[in-house]
Structure 1
Amino acid sequence: MGMLIAGAHIRYPMPGACHHPMAGTFAPPDLVLHTDKDVTGVAQLLRLARPGLFDLADRPGLREVARG
C-alpha cells in the first residue's frame, strides 16, 4: 500500500522485449555516489529531469553502449 501512496509502483513502458525488470522504474533511495569529479547523490544527478544510467558495477562495455 505504501508504494501506491508514494507512486513508486509506476512502471514506464520500455521498448523491446529484453530489458531488466528495474528498467522504467523509480530510482532507489538517494544513494551517495562517488564520481571522478566529486561526491553526489542520485537525486542531485536527476535534477535535470533526464534519464540516467547508473553503472554501479563499473562495466566499461555498458558505458560504451550507452554513450551514444
Structure 2
Amino acid sequence: MSSKIACPHCGQDWLAAHRIKSTGEMFHTCPECESLWLAQQDLRQETENYLSEFLESTGITWGDTEKLAT
C-alpha cells in the first residue's frame, strides 16, 4: 500500500515533504500547482496556502529548505 498522497487541490502530482533547514519546520507541497500544507494541516484537505506566498511571508528562499525522503 502506497503512502503517497495525491494533491487534493489539482490532483496532478504527489505531495512532497520539505523542511526549513534553520528551524526544522516541516511542510508539504505539490510540485505541480505549488499548493502548500503546514505541519498541522490535514494533507487530504484543500489548502489556501501557496509556496511562493509562504516563502515571501517567512523571508526564506527555496534554498533554505530541503526535500525529505518519503
Shorter-chain TM-score above 0.5: no
- The structure where strand makes up a greater share of residues is 2
Q: State the TM-score, normalizing by the size of structure 1.
A: 0.28
Q: Which has the higher contact order (CA 8 A, sep 6+)?
A: 2
The structure in which a higher percent of residues are helix is 1
